[in-house]
Each structure stands twice: as C-alpha cells, then as structure tokens.
Structure 1
Amino acid sequence: MASDVDGAPLVGRTDLVTSVRSALLGTVAQGHTAAVFLSGESGVGKSRLLREVGAGLRDAGALVLTGACLDIGDASPLHPLLQALRRFDAELTASHARTASAVRGLLGMFAEETAGSDGAGALLERVSRGLHLIAEGRPLVLVLDDLQWVDRSTRQLLLYLLAGLGDLQVSVLAAVRAESLQGAHPLRRVLTELRRLRTVQVIDLAPLDRAATEQLAAAVVGRPLSPDAADLVWQRSGGNPFVVEELARDLREGRVGLSDTLREIFLSRVDALPQHAHAVVHAVAAGVEPVEHWLLAKVVRLPEDELIEAVRAAVAHRLLVGADDGYRLRHRLVAEVLEHELLPAERAALHRRYAEALTAAPAELHQARLAHHWRLAGEPARALPAAVAAAEEAERLHGYAEAHRHWSAALHLADAPAAGPAVDRVTLLERAAEAAHHCGEHARALALLEELAASDAGRPACELHIRRARYLAAAGRSALAEAEYQRALDNPDCTPRERATAAAHLAELLLHLGRYADAGRRAREALELSGEVEGSTSEVVLASAALGFSEAYLEDPDSGLAAVRRALEIAERAGQPEDVACAYLHLAELLTGPLNILEEGVVVARRGAERVAELGLGRTYETRLLAIATNGLFRVGQWAEAEKVVAAALRHRPSGADAVELLLARCRLSVGYGDIEAADRDLDAVATVLAGGGARHVIPLLTLRAGLAMWQGRHDLARQAVQRGLTESRSDDVTILAALVWHGLRAEAEAHASRTVDVDRTAVRRLREAADRVARKSASAPPAVRSVVDGFLALCAAEVSRLDGSDPELWARSVTEWDRRNHPYPAAYSRLRQAEALLARRGRSATAGKLLRAAYQVAQGLGAVPLTSEIRTLAGRARVSLEERDTASGASATAASSDGDELAVLTAREREVLAAVAEGLTNKEIGQRLFISERTIGVHVSHIFDKLHVRTRVQASAIFLRNRPA
C-alpha cells in the first residue's frame, strides 16, 4: 500500500527524512558504508519516505539507484539492482556517455552469465567493480523497496557491500513490511546480522499521531475537517497514512460507505492469518476494547497454548496490539470490514458468549459492555437493566456524556417488542433529559422534556416549568427561560421547595443577563424561601453566589466577594457538581469583571475549569470558565496565552450559552489581531445562537461588531451596531455600556477623520447623553467598578474632542487611566491618538515620537495588526522612526540583539509560528497544528517579518535556526 493519494503532502515525517538523509550521506562522505532499513506495516508510508529521501539525496549530488523486489522468490537473481540500472540507463542523456557505457557494461555482464557461473563471490566482486565505475567518485545510494521479498543473491550483495568487502562507498536505504517477516523468514537473520554494524539503523516506522492524522486528512479533503469527521478518521485509521488518505478521499467525494480498495486490502490481510488467529481477530473485532485475555479465552474456546500462539500470529501480522489491559485492533476499520463477513447468527453467537462470560464473572462485571453484548445478541430484555445500571454508574462517576448515551440506549431498548415486562419509561425520559442537559446536549434535553410532558400528563406543572427554564437558559434562550421561571413562581400549586428553586435559578439567570439589582432581589427571595425548606443546599449556594455578586457590584465589594467565596465552600462540602461549577463561575466572573482583580481571576477561572472537568462538566461549565480566563488574559495583554486557552476550550465543542461565551472571547482576539474573516464568522455564529439573549451577550456582540466595522472603514455599520445596542438592551453592567458608548463616539470620530461619511450630530448627542448616564450610574458604584468605567469615560471625552480638533491633554489623561489599570491595548491606542493630536498642532514632535514608539512596541508585542498599521501610517507621515529607542524605554529589539537573542522581540505565540515556518510548513498546516485559522497565521507571519526585518520565510527561518537553543 503506497501512501501517496492525489499528491498528498508528507506529514509528520519531516524530521525523520532529514535524519535519514544525514545518516546516509554523512557516513558515506567519511568513506564508510551505511544503511537504513525502514520497517513498518503496510501503508505506513515507507515507500513515500524512500522517494522523499531519495530525491533529497539526488539534490545533494549522490547517485541514487532505485529498485523494488518482486514476490517471486529466487527466480530473478539481483532483480532490484537490474531494475534500478535499467531505470538509470533510460534517464541518461548523450552528455553522460561514460556513465552510460559503465551501466550497459554491467547490464551486459548480467546478460552473459548467471549467478552460479563463476561462483557467488566472483559475481559479487564484479558487480561491486561495475558499481564503482558507474559512481565515478560520487556517493552511491541503493534504494530498495519491498525488501521482504528480496532474492538470495541480493541478500548476499547487501551483506557483501555493507561489510566493506566491495571497496565501494555505498549507502543502502530499504523498506520492509514488518508483518511479512514471520517465522524463519531469511531476511530476519540478515537484519539481525546487519544490526551489529555500527553504521546500520533499523527504524520501525510508527503510524501518525492524532494531530498529523487530522492534518493529512484535511490536506486531502481540501478543507479543515469537522471535529466529528476528524474523530472518525482517527479512530478508523489508527494513524496509518494510506488508510487516512483513502478515508479522506471518501469524505471529499461524499462516499458514505467503506471503499472497495480498503475493504479488499484488510480482508486479504485477515485471510492470510492462520485459522485460529483468524478466529481471534474476529472475536476481538466483536468485543469492546480492550478485550482481556481471560475474556477472549472464554469467547474463542481454544486451549491456552493454541490461543497464545494465535494471538501472537495476529500481533505479528500487525492486526492486533497487545497490552497489559488486553488486546485491541490496530485499526478499528478491521471491525467494520469483518462485520459483514459473518452470518447474523455467527455475530449474535459471539456477542452471547461475551455476555455470558461477563455475567459469570461478577468481579469483572462492566454494565456498559454487558448491555452492548446482550443487545447485539438479540436479547433486549437482558440488555435493558444493564443499560440502566451503566447509566447510573456513569452518573456516580460524573460521566454525564456517557450517562446520556446509556439512558438513550435504555429508551431505545424499552421500545423493542421483546423488551419484556413494562418499564417506567417516564423515569427513563426524566433521567435522559437531565443527563443531556449536564453534558451540553441542550436541544436534546428540551426534546426529551417535551416527550416527558406528553407521557406524564399528571406531572406537576411547576416542576416542568423549572426544568424547561434551566434547559432554555443553558441553550442561550434567556428570554424564554426567564418567562418559564416566572410561570413557576406565579403558579399557586408550587411547593415551597419548588418556589425556592425557581427563585434561586432565576437570580442566577438575571445575573447572567447583567441585571444585578433584579438578581439581588430574587436571590434574597430564594434565601428566604430556602430557610423554610430542609435540605435546600443547592438553592442556598445559587442564591448566595448571585446575591454576593450583586452586592459586590452595586454596594459592598468586600462583603459581596466574601459571600461568593462562602457559596463556593458550601458547594464543595455538599459535592453537587453543578453547584460547585456555578460558584466557581461567579467567583471568576466577579474577580475578572467588576472587581478588576485580573490575575487572581484568571487563576481562579483556570483552577475552576480543572475542578469542573473532574466533575464531568467539561463541555459546559469548563468552557465558560476558560472563556472568562481568555477575557482576563486578553485585557492584561497576554494574547498568545489567551489564544491557547480558547483553542483548548473549543475542543469540547460547546453549544448554547457556553458556545456564545467562548466565541465572543475568541472574537475579541480576532478583532485585535485584525483577522476580519474569523471575527465575522464568530459574530455570525453568536448572533444565530443568541435568539432571545440578554444584554450580557448582546451588548458585547454589538460592541465587537462596531470595532470590526471600524477596522474595515465601515463607520456607518459601526454606528448602526452601537445605536442598536443602546436601544435594544437594558443592563446594570455600566462597564459594558461604557465600552459600547466609547465605540460609538470613536465611530463618529473615525467618520470625521476619514471624510468619507458625514458625522451624525444627533448620534453624537445621544452618545454624550448615554456617557453622562453611565457616569451618573457609576458614581455610586464601588471603586473597582468606577475605576474601569472612568477609563472608558476618559476615552469617550477624548474621542469627542477629535470632532473639533483632538485635545492631547484628554488623551494623556486616558493614557494615565489605562496604564494605572495595566490594560496595555487601550493605553497603546490612547498614546497613538495623543501623538496624533500633538502632531496636528505642529508642536512637541519629540514627545509625539516617543509616544508612537511606546505604542508601537506594545502593539507589536500583542500582535495587534490594525493598530500597528495605524501607528506606522502616522509615523510615516510625521517622519518618525519607530525603531529608535530612548534610554527610558529600555526593552528594545536592539538591546535584545546585543544580548544575542534576535527572537526576543517575538511573543510566545509568534515563536511557535516561526518554529513551524522553519519546519517548512504552510500557513494552512501551521493553523491545523496550532488550532488557529489560516488567516490568523498569515497575520502572525506578517508580524514576524516586520519584527525581524525580513521579507521571506527563508530569511525568517534562518534567524530562528541561528537563535534557537542548542
């Protein structure tokens, strides 16, 4: 199986190609012989590596002769060498007359005599002399494929040459299928002998890892794979490049089933097994991996010695992998192929044996496996209780995704005609819906809830309202959720416990919507109601966290923060996963938001993410906590680290409100980087999910829309987004309102500066009134909240001054405000505008230059491409050099260079990108490796070129290689 479908790129082997090439050329250059033998299963990429290395060796000036062995034993002595010489002769031109003569002379010698005419030793000596004439002093490399079929004469020639008996500087590069070297295969002895030579390497070529598998598949398909498709390719292929390429081509061409090519290849490999090994592979394919040895013995029913020998054969043929915990198929694709090779009765019999063996060994009982095998054995009545037990087992371990799968399986089994006695389908629906909610399958949870309501007409309406509200809130449909909670509270039939639950959850929702005063009122109501109900720990946790957040924002920060911390302590003692997650969420939001204690907030968010992941809430609360961490890192200027955090969170594939938080966090980075396409895509996705969303999400969405539109020069669109934000949403969060107002005034100032769009004086008046309202509302806010709002109000006042002649003093005040808060991005923006104002007044150009250089240094460090571009444009007009550094600024590229590290000017993320550039990867390949869009990689590469003062990838790579650690 050659791995080279449709010219697919060589993935994951770059370092190996380089090391093999060096091993072969370096040794020969010193006058010695050398050999590298590549061993591995079919399709792992051996032939492709031979071609890549061979091409590199030719480029380096070596004479490369390439041949392949045939599966016909000793019928054709020295066939691969003859084939290589004929190919080489066909490639020679008239200018190579001397070499052509030597080649034809050696070919003529083969035609005149057989391998036994003068004895093997004489033949080998003559072949060696002939090769010496052909090489003409150049390094000679023999490249041999399919060495498992090598004939006896060629084996002898290899031993003769590599032992140095031929007085010839030669290298050998050969590939051999590992699964073919069974029993007493003569090549096994040859390789054993050659391993003793210091200049011989035998390399077992491993399959690709997960990242390289996805990269190769994406290259064949022509676009990045969806997470589900990537998972499927990885599981089915096991990283085998040939299989990856075949599966990817099926994806590209829209084929659903398995291709005939793959099916026939794997069937032929299974058919080549001995009889008992054949049975073992069929049994493992039907099992749930890993299949323990004792369990396999019960299923195949072979004597121990015969079973071990059969397993050994399956492992040697590279179909099975053995480990301490049991046996696995090397490629799950084998299970798909073999599934259709057994009669239905044979398959059912195998699964029955598995089920009976598991049932008879209670110490080894695993309910999920038992349910699986009884179901496929055709006995739903025995599978159903096992599926229920498996779901309950998963819930005890906080494995909600697994629990949801098992509850769904139980529902399906309960509907089977042969399910036996009637089951409580209402209970199954109830448990399945709750598991779906916990694992982030919000749409599925709502659908199951509606089915539950229809199946159980007598269920209290209040309970359904509360459940529906919780699921709607998690799905991001906040307005509908609020209405459902209110229906529960208005229902006279609600119990005190249900009223406390509804009030506590409603307080949390209102907090999430930014309505802190309303949240505080509902939280107090919930705490009062909880005092009348025994065992209402969850309600107390939710209400305490909401009330603490509300108080911290509106009244007393210290008291509110202490209340949220107490809520977390109560939740941890009680141990309910959702309560713990909710308390961590509010604490992290409070620290990174209103209280502006960013560093501690990021630490709490990341610690909380680890904790809730342990509790099985990775797809929901973990992603939201990581979104909070991303926003905190963004604000303190650690954009590269923020990128890593958001990429890790997105691997959970969140949905609903969880996805909204994360997409908004990623969009902030994209807007800052100037990746317009990625930012636009995220904003569209958020808008789609946010039907019925509250101000907490809508205002940031519209603020980002405005910021993105301004970088595009679309000041009219920015104006529309801001006006919509001011009229459509209500929120107590004056911070997000202040940011929105700043963007509106900035849009009008940019319109004025561009002279392409008229300033809307009515909009300016409304925005100034909105700024005044924000100032009045923040006057009574705690100092931490007021501090951040004052920064935005300083920006607002300075932007207004741009409409009538920008005031440098107002911009200086904004610089001071943001420097004091350690928010580098708005501080750098303010320095740009202050310099612009100074230059417009034709005075203090030295101060303006200093400001521009400081802003440029920060923008470069962040990777803020649009801001960097604006700074460069202004500096160019003013003839200010951005590369100069005064003694006060200190940290500069020049200083870094003088210390010997030319890469010191790059951020951590830029170093990662440059390292990949130095490997020769394309932007697309780098993006797939680092989980970033190709467009963003282009931004990083441009930024790297600017900082290193280079124009090409080769020049940038040279600097990286010169400066990387030894």
Structure 2
Amino acid sequence: MASDVDTAPLVGRADQLTMLRSALLGELGPGQTAAVFVSGESGVGKSRLLHEAGARLRDAGAVVLTGSCLDIGDASPLHPVLQALRRFDADLTAAQARTSSAVRGLLGMFAEEPATPDGGTLLERVSRGLSLIAEGRPLVLVLDDLQWVDRSTRQLLLYLLAGLGDLQLSVLAAVRAESLQGAHPLRRVLTELRRLRSVRVLDLAPLDRADTDRLAAAIVGAPLTPEAAEQVWQRSGGNPFVVEELARDLRDGRDGLSDTLREIFLTRVDALPQHAHAVVHAVAAGVEPVEHWLLAEVLALPEQELIEAARAAVAHRLIVSADDGYRLRHRLVAEVLEDELLPAERSALHRRYAEALTRAPAELHQARLAHHWRLAGEPGRALPAAMAAAREAERLHGFAEAHRHWSVALRLASTPAGPPTGPVPGDVDRAALLEHAAETAHQCGEHARALSLLAELAGAEETEPSCAVRIRRARYLAAAGRSAPAEAEYQRVLAAPDCTARERATAAAHLAELLLHLGRYADAGRRAREALELAAKVDGSTTEVVLASSALGFSEAFLEDPDAGLAVVRRALEIAERAGRPEDVACAYLHLAELLTGPLNILEEGVVVARRGAERVAELGLGRTYETRLLAIATNGLFRVGQWAEAEKVVAAALRHRPSGADAVELLLARCRLSVGYGDIEASDRDLEAVATMLAGGGAPRHVLPMLILRAGLAMWQGRHDVARQAVQRGLTESRSDDVVLLATLAWHGLRAEAEALASRTVPVDETALRRLRDAVDRVATKSGTAARPVRYVADGFLALCTAELSRLDGRGDPDAWARSALEWDRRNHPYPAAYSRLRQAEALLARRSRNATAAKLLRRAYEMAQGLGAVPLTSEIRTLAGRARVDLEERAQPAGRSATRGQPASDELALLTAREREVLAAVAEGLTNKEIGQRLFISERTIGVHVSHIFDKLQVRTRVQASAILLRTRGE
C-alpha cells in the first residue's frame, strides 16, 4: 500500500524526518553504527518516509543504498542488498568509475560466495567493499518491506550492526506491524536489536485531522467541503494511502469505493484466523465502541478464544482496543465488509446484537437498540426504542441527535408490517412524530427541513391549519430568514376567532420579537405590551414573558429610557435562566448582547455578554442556531473597537457549525465586514453573493441594509462608484426600519460614493441621488433627536461623517469638519472611521496648501491606526496621498536623547494606553466617579472599573491620584 511518491505530497512527517537525520548521521563516527526501524500499519506512509529520508540523507553527504525485500521467503537470498547495489551502480556517472568498480566487485563477491553470509571471510570482504563504496562518507542502507526479509539478509544486518571497523554505517528499514505475528523470525531479531542504544524503533502513527485535511486538499487541488473532509477523515482514520485514494476519487468524481481499496482491505481481513475474522465482522456491524461483554454475547465464543481472536484482530491493525470497547481502525472496513455477508447473515448478526442489549441488566442504550432492531428487520421493536432515544436526546439538549431519532421513528412508523417482522404499534400518533421531528429540526438549525415536515403535518390534517401549526410555521419562517410571510402568519393567528388565550399570547410575543429583528422598534414595543397583558391571564407563560420582556426592553432602550430598557432585558434573562428552557435563555442573551453592542454602544460589555451567552447556549444544545448569532454579534463588536484579528477567530469558530437560514446570514455578514475592511475582494464578493441568494425570497432590513452597505463599501474600494450608488439607493428605497444608526451608516456610504465619484471623475455626481441622501441625513437628524441618548450619541458620529462628506461634494473639503468627525470617533473608540476621517482631514489641508506639518502628522496617525487594523485598502490610500505630499509615514517621534520643547515631553508615559483608556483617564483626572464616567461615555459602571484597573496596571500606579498626576505631567500642566 505504498503511495505514489511522485504525486502524493508528504504531509505531517517533518518531525520524523528531523529525528531520522539526527539518529542516522548525528554524532556517529568511524566504526559506529545506528539503525532505525520504522513500524506501522499498511499505507501509513513508511515507504514514502524512507524515500524522502533517503533523499535528504543523500543531500547531507551520505552514500545511500536503497532496496526492498520480496514476499518469497528465502528463495532469493540477499535480494534487497543486491538490488540496492545494482540501483546505486546504475545511478553512478562516468566520473565515478572508481566507485562503480567497487560496487561491481562487491556484487561479484556475492555471486561467488555461498548464499549464507556466516563466514568471517565474507564479513571482512563485505566490510572492505562497503568501505570502498563509501570512500570515507557515512553509508546508509535503506530497506523497505523488511517483514519479508530473507534469512541471509537478516544475518547480514546483524553482522553489519555489530561493527565494521572504520565504516560509519546506518540502517533505515520499514516493517509492516501487522505482519509481525506469532513466530515471525524478524520479531526475535528486532527484540534483540532494541537492546542496543544505537537502535530505535519508530512507530509511525496515522495523520491527525489537520494533516488529513491538508493531504486531501493537496490532491483534490482545493479545500474540501466540511462534509467531504469529515467523510474522508472518518473513512480513512488518517491513513495516508487511504486518504490519497479517497481524495483522488473525489477529485475525479468517482462514486463508491475503489476496487484497489476494497481488495487491499479484503486481503487483510481474509488473512485473519477464523475467530478473528468473525470479531472484525461483528465490530463492523456494531455501534462503536463495542464492549467486550457485548461482543462475547454476539459471538458466543469461550472467553479465552474471544480474547485471542480480538488480540489477533488488533495485532493485524484492523481494530483498536480501549477501556470502553473495540473500534475499527478505519471505518472503511465496515463498507468493505458490508457486501461480504449474505442479507440473512447481516440480519441475524443485528438480531443477536439487539437481543443481547435487551437482555443486558444495565440501562439500555435505546439508540443502539433501535439501530439493531431496524437492521434486523423488526420495525415494531425498533420504533419504541427510537422514540425513547429521541426523548433522551431532547432531555440532554442534543437536538441534532434527537432530530435523527425522530426521523428514524417516522420511517419506522411507515414501514409495512408483515411476516417475519412484528406489527408496528398501532397506538403511535404519526402527527405527534411529525411535530417532534419538525421542532427538533428547527432547534438544530435545519429550518427548511422543519418547514417541510410541518407542511406534511398540515396536509395530513386535511383541514385549515390550526393556530398552533400557524405559530410553528411562523417561527420556522422567521428562523429561515423569511420575515414577511412569518409576520403574516402571526397576524392571522391574532385575527383568528378560534385561537385560545395562550395561542394569542404566544403569537403576540413572537411577533414582537420578529418586529424587533425587523428594526420596527415602536411596533415591537406595542406588540410586546399586548403580549404581556395576554400572558398575565395564562398560567405557565414563561416563554411569552421572556420574549415580550426582551422586545419591550429593547424598544424602550432605543426609543425612550436606555437604563430602564436595559433593566427589563436583564430581568428577562434572569427569568429565562430560572425556568431553564433553552430557547428562552438563548433569546434573552441574544437581545441583551444586541442591545449592548448596538443602540447602547457599550461594546466591551456587549462582546463579553455575547461570548458568555454563546458558551451558555452551546451547553443547551443550540450551537448551530443561537450560538452562531451570538458569535456574530461578538464579531461585529470586536470589529467596531478595532480588534479585527480576534473577530476573525470568533467568526471562524462559529462557521464550523455550518449554520443555515437567518443564522447563516448574520454570520456571513459579520465575516464579510471583516473581509471588506481587510480588502479581500474575492472573499467579500463570495459572502455577499451567498447572502443575496439566501435573501432572494425577501429579507429583513437588518439583513438587507447591511448587505447593501457592504456592497457599496466594497465597490468603492474597487473604484466602481456607480455600483456603490446603486446599492445605497436601493437601500434608501427598501429602508423601513426605525434603526436610525443603520440609516445613518447607509447615508454616509452614499455620500462617500458620490464624493469619491467626483474626486475620481469616473462618473458624474447624480443630483437626484444626492438629494435623496440629503433627505436621509435630515431624517436621521430628526429621528435621532427624539431617540434615547446613547442612540443619538452613535448617530451623531455618522452625522459628523455625512457633514464632512458633503463638504467634499461642495468642493471646499472642510478640514475642520473632518477634525470634528475624527474626534467624535475617537471618543467612541472606533478606530476605523477615526483613521478614515484623519485621512480626509489631511487631504483637505493639503488641498488648501496650508499646515503641511499638521497634515503629515494626521497621515502618520491614520497610517498607524489602519496598519494596526490590517485595513489594506485604507492603508494603501493613505500611502498614495502621503506619496503625493512627500510625507514619510515611517518617521518616528523625536529621540529621547534630544531636549524636548516645553509642553512636549520626550517620553509619553501614556503610550501604552488605548484611546478609550486615555478617555477614561481624562475623566478620572476631572475627579469623576466610575458611575459618572459611564454616564458620560455611555459605558456601564462595571466596564469603567475594568478600564481603570487596566490603566493602573499599565501605568504601575495604585491610586486615581497617581494616575491623574501622570496625565497632567504629560500634558505639561
């Protein structure tokens, strides 16, 4: 099972190659010997490792002789050594005639002497011959497939490793571990050699998951999809040869198992003793791990015979044994063996498993029992076990597993009964199975599947869908990102005369949550109050209270009183945690994190809450849905405060869940925001296209507007100002949200696109578009004036950007407007718009041919901020302007050794502080308390305490007075 060394890349063996070079050359001197025997299962990469090691040893100056043993026993004595000498001679050039003569002399000697090299004369002549070949250089004998070594070569190796005068000799050999069974003669040789300090045995392990993915991707020519990568890993177990075969099948579009792999594994299984053969078949049919007691029940072998059979299967590297039972080393073995048993044999084997599990005195593993009864052809016995397994998975919040079990139960309930199977229980309610399967599909993120099952349920009733079904449908539609039909369904429930009080409360609460996600905060608040009034009349309405309270608190915080609204959302989380229902807890965390990182602009605490909430909901089994949304919120918060590298890690971790529907949209938008900032055009385009496809059936403004904003931002970096204009104008048309911050962001991008078009002279300014943008800015100013203070605070930052962009369009480029914008964003600790504002301020100053020194300082500061973020397009634009203005961006501050002017200290003691920490320190120096600072900066008192602690640590002070003194000293006050 050696890989094709010409085409398959060597992956994951760097450490082993380093060890081999050190062990075989290292500190060896004349007359010293060393040997490394590489052991491992077939296909693990021994031959490839020997090939690569031989090449590297040759490059290091060693003489390398390479040969392979044959599977013909003693019929061809000394074959690998003779082969090695012939190969070496064939590679010699005419200039190496002396070495070639020595090689041919040694070959002639072997032809003349007896086959068994046990005489002293032969030993001396071999020594002299090899010495002549080596010519004072280290000599390495590389032998592959040593498990087939003949007796003569074994004896010669022992002689050589015993010492050959002044010859520095090393042996590198590979041996298949599964072949060294029983009384194999090489076992005794290796046992003896292991006692020598100069001999090592390297057990070559399969590749780990990361290296398996790398190898497969290298062969396919592109990264594998997560599903394909997982399948290759599970089937191969990291065996490089198997990975290569599977990857080539993927690359070439071949389905099924290749004949090469099938025959190789069948040969290995057929070589097993009879009982070991039965063990492998039984483990392949079982649910891993297969416990020893269960295997004994299934095979009915005496204990000692079973142990010996299992030992043989382990020794042949087909199964592995652990404390919890037996597993196949490669799941591929199960595929290979599937067709080797007759259908009756397979059914009987699964029946024995099911009967053994049923007889077990311990608690039954219902999932395994359902699996074996189903494959034994007993749907009537499998169904109750599948249902029990589904309920157990739900209890443990394993919703994906629960959905699989409910789906199995549905199939079993549809299986026709008849001999020899028992009847399917008649009291199973198919509608109940559909309900469970749909709900667990929704909870594990399979929203399309949930809607399909619900449609089947509604069709089965042959009547108008009930209010309960409509509520379910609305929930699933909302999760799938189809907001408009979801809202319509909730409205139908509230208008239906036959709905119960609980159903009305549920519909109103969910509708309030949906309206909140749509950005219609006033409507959400009204619906939330209605839901709370309805819930007060219904016992056990915790879910409705949590949803409505979260929506109401968010609405109040945005439109009226931020402190009161935040308190309401925090109480909703407390209620949800006490009740313990997973979706209630997740929903409360989601709203709290969104409120903190959004309208309230308490970013540091919001990111902490989002990440803590993500961990909590993952524990509750909602990793694919709510965890991904919470991590998307954390990503956006980290992006805004300039921690892009950390944001990248968070979004990458969330994407491993492979979310769908609205969850996927949130995450893709978060990742695209990073890609646009980094200037990764290809990745940005890919994510935007994916989002557009998912929103093709209609999306909420909270998704559509960010998508259009990102499209505009990307188009501007590409110089496609007309595309940016189209995206923004479409956003103005579709904006039906109360979120003035989102509208302000859209307006800024539109004005920037028009200003860029004017500056580049690529397309003329569109006066109609410009008029709409001015109207949008006026709307933002009017609406934010009546919004809560934190919302006004963030909107004011974007309004400052809009005002400054309008000065570019008016042809005057007001540097003071840009200075005010930079200051606004410094106060908010948002480095990206602050750096952009400084770039434009410098540009305006240079256009007026005034204060060039100030412009240079601004460019250096903007450049430092953009580089720190990794914002490649922004950095490039700063460099371009600096180049035209002949500004050295790398110029450093005045050296400490030179005297500083008054008011300009040579060393800035505050250099270690972030912009936000400097802002907090300035407030501390004014004598404000943490609560007062939090009110000024719209940050929670708890977060201010964290900042103060960081300031103390960085400045190495213990009191607020000491920290304030440093600030005043650096100001020269």
Q: TM-score under structure 1 normalisation?
A: 0.90
Determine if the alignment matches structure 1 residue 783 to structure 2 residue 782: no
SS in structure 2 of the partner of residue 138 of structure 1: coil
Residues 26-50 of structure 1 show CA distances to partners (whole Å, capped at 9, x for unaligned) of 2336874322221110001111111
Residues 51-98 of structure 1 show CA distances to partners (whole Å, capped at 9, x for unaligned) of 111112222222111111111222323221111110010111111111
Which amino acid letter does the alignment assign opposite residue 880 of structure 2? T
Quote the offset at 1:458 in angstroms: 5.5
Which amino acid letter does the alignment assign opposite residue 103 of structure 2? V
CA gap 1:469/1:538 in 2 versus in 1, 3 angstroms: same
Equivalent of residue 727 in structure 2, options 721, 724, 739: 721
Aligned positions of 1:490-569 closer than 5 A? 490-569=495-574
Taking the aligned partners of 1:666 and 1:653, their CA distance within structure 2 comes to 14
Which amino acid letter does the alignment assign opposite residue 309 of structure 2? A
Quote the offset at 1:150 in angstroms: 1.6
Taking the aligned partners of 1:458 and 1:38, their CA distance within structure 2 comes to 71
Determine if the alignment matches structure 1 residue 872 to structure 2 residue 879: yes
2:354–2:372: 8 Å Cα contact kept in structure 1?
A: yes
CA gap 1:440/1:116 in 2 versus in 1, 3 angstroms: closer
Taking the aligned partners of 1:725 and 1:519, their CA distance within structure 2 comes to 22
1:751–1:757: 8 Å Cα contact kept in structure 2?
A: yes
Aligned to 1:275: 274
Which amino acid letter does the alignment assign opposite residue 186 of structure 2? L
Determine if the alignment matches structure 1 residue 848 to structure 2 residue 855: yes
Aligned to 2:211: 212
Determine if the alignment matches structure 1 residue 260 to structure 2 residue 259: yes
Aligned positions of 1:829-840 closer than 5 A? 829-840=836-847
Taking the aligned partners of 1:518 and 1:506, their CA distance within structure 2 comes to 10
Residues 583-638 of structure 1 show CA distances to partners (whole Å, capped at 9, x for unaligned) of 01111111111111111111111111111111111111111111111111111111
Aligned to 2:20: 20
CA gap 1:201/1:854 in 2 versus in 1, 3 angstroms: farther
Quote the offset at 1:199 in angstroms: 3.0
1:235–1:331: 8 Å Cα contact kept in structure 2?
A: yes
1:676–1:708: 8 Å Cα contact kept in structure 2?
A: yes
Which amino acid letter does the alignment assign opposite residue 362 of structure 2? A
1:3–1:44: 8 Å Cα contact kept in structure 2?
A: no
Determine if the alignment matches structure 1 residue 646 to structure 2 residue 645: no
Aligned to 2:702: 696
1:672–1:864: 8 Å Cα contact kept in structure 2?
A: yes
Determine if the alignment matches structure 1 residue 742 to structure 2 residue 748: yes
Taking the aligned partners of 1:73 and 1:8, their CA distance within structure 2 comes to 30
SS in structure 1 of the partner of residue 25 of structure 2: helix
Aligned to 1:356: 355
Taking the aligned partners of 1:404 and 1:91, their CA distance within structure 2 comes to 63
Aligned to 1:672: 677
Equivalent of residue 806 in structure 1, options 787, 808, 813: 813
Residues 262-293 of structure 1 show CA distances to partners (whole Å, capped at 9, x for unaligned) of 00000000000000000000000000000000
2:138–2:167: 8 Å Cα contact kept in structure 1?
A: no
CA gap 1:351/1:331 in 2 versus in 1, 3 angstroms: same
Residues 164-201 of structure 1 show CA distances to partners (whole Å, capped at 9, x for unaligned) of 34431122221111111112222222222222333322
Residues 835-885 of structure 1 show CA distances to partners (whole Å, capped at 9, x for unaligned) of 111222222222222222222222222211111111111111112112212
Which amino acid letter does the alignment assign opposite residue 12 of structure 2? G
CA gap 1:760/1:393 in 2 versus in 1, 3 angstroms: same
Taking the aligned partners of 1:609 and 1:589, their CA distance within structure 2 comes to 13
Aligned to 1:201: 200
Aligned to 1:907: none
Taking the aligned partners of 2:462 and 2:436, their CA distance within structure 1 comes to 17
Which amino acid letter does the alignment assign opposite residue 793 of structure 1? L
1:663–1:682: 8 Å Cα contact kept in structure 2?
A: yes
SS in structure 1 of the partner of residue 27 of structure 2: helix
Taking the aligned partners of 1:164 and 1:834, their CA distance within structure 2 comes to 80
Aligned to 1:163: 162
Taking the aligned partners of 1:409 and 1:473, their CA distance within structure 2 comes to 27
Which amino acid letter does the alignment assign opposite residue 268 of structure 1? T
Taking the aligned partners of 2:170 and 2:770, their CA distance within structure 1 comes to 78
1:6–1:220: 8 Å Cα contact kept in structure 2?
A: no
CA gap 1:362/1:555 in 2 versus in 1, 3 angstroms: farther
Quote the offset at 1:566 in angstroms: 0.8
Aligned to 2:949: none
Determine if the alignment matches structure 1 residue 758 to structure 2 residue 799: no
Aligned to 2:225: 226
2:31–2:166: 8 Å Cα contact kept in structure 1?
A: no
Aligned to 1:91: 91
Quote the offset at 1:163 in angstroms: 3.4
CA gap 1:304/1:887 in 2 versus in 1, 3 angstroms: farther
1:400–1:435: 8 Å Cα contact kept in structure 2?
A: yes
Residues 215-238 of structure 1 show CA distances to partners (whole Å, capped at 9, x for unaligned) of 211221122211111111111111
SS in structure 2 of the partner of residue 666 of structure 1: helix
SS in structure 2 of the partner of residue 7 of structure 1: coil
Aligned to 2:595: 590
Aligned to 1:768: 774
Residues 329-371 of structure 1 show CA distances to partners (whole Å, capped at 9, x for unaligned) of 0000100111100011110010000000001114141110000
Taking the aligned partners of 1:861 and 1:189, their CA distance within structure 2 comes to 62
Quote the offset at 1:887 in angstroms: 4.6
Quote the offset at 1:453 in angstroms: 0.7
Taking the aligned partners of 1:520 and 1:437, their CA distance within structure 2 comes to 26
Which amino acid letter does the alignment assign opposite residue 786 of structure 1? R
SS in structure 2 of the partner of residue 867 of structure 1: helix
Quote the offset at 1:459 in angstroms: 7.6
CA gap 1:343/1:805 in 2 versus in 1, 3 angstroms: same
2:735–2:743: 8 Å Cα contact kept in structure 1?
A: no
Quote the offset at 1:460 in angstroms: 5.8
1:89–1:100: 8 Å Cα contact kept in structure 2?
A: yes
Aligned positions of 1:389-408 closer than 5 A? 389-408=388-407
Aligned to 1:882: 889
1:115–1:123: 8 Å Cα contact kept in structure 2?
A: no
Quote the offset at 1:6 in angstroms: 6.9
2:31–2:165: 8 Å Cα contact kept in structure 1?
A: no
1:27–1:199: 8 Å Cα contact kept in structure 2?
A: no
CA gap 1:29/1:547 in 2 versus in 1, 3 angstroms: farther
Which amino acid letter does the alignment assign opposite residue 841 of structure 1? R
Aligned to 2:941: none
- Of residues 428-437 and 759-768 in structure 1, the stretch that sits farther from structure 2 once superposed is 759-768
Taking the aligned partners of 1:166 and 1:597, their CA distance within structure 2 comes to 78
2:284–2:328: 8 Å Cα contact kept in structure 1?
A: yes
Quote the offset at 1:735 in angstroms: 1.1
Aligned positions of 1:441-480 closer than 5 A? 441-457=446-462, 461-480=466-485
Aligned to 2:432: 427
Taking the aligned partners of 1:543 and 1:121, their CA distance within structure 2 comes to 95
2:113–2:122: 8 Å Cα contact kept in structure 1?
A: no
Any stretches of 5+ residues in structure 2 without a counterpart?
418-422, 898-911, 913-973
Aligned to 2:325: 326
SS in structure 1 of the partner of residue 28 of structure 2: helix
- Of residues 683-692 and 28-37 in structure 1, the stretch that sits farther from structure 2 once superposed is 28-37
Aligned to 2:953: none
2:31–2:164: 8 Å Cα contact kept in structure 1?
A: no
Taking the aligned partners of 1:197 and 1:854, their CA distance within structure 2 comes to 65
Taking the aligned partners of 1:362 and 1:706, their CA distance within structure 2 comes to 66
Aligned to 2:626: 621
Aligned to 1:115: 115
Which amino acid letter does the alignment assign opposite residue 182 of structure 1? Q
Aligned to 2:376: 377
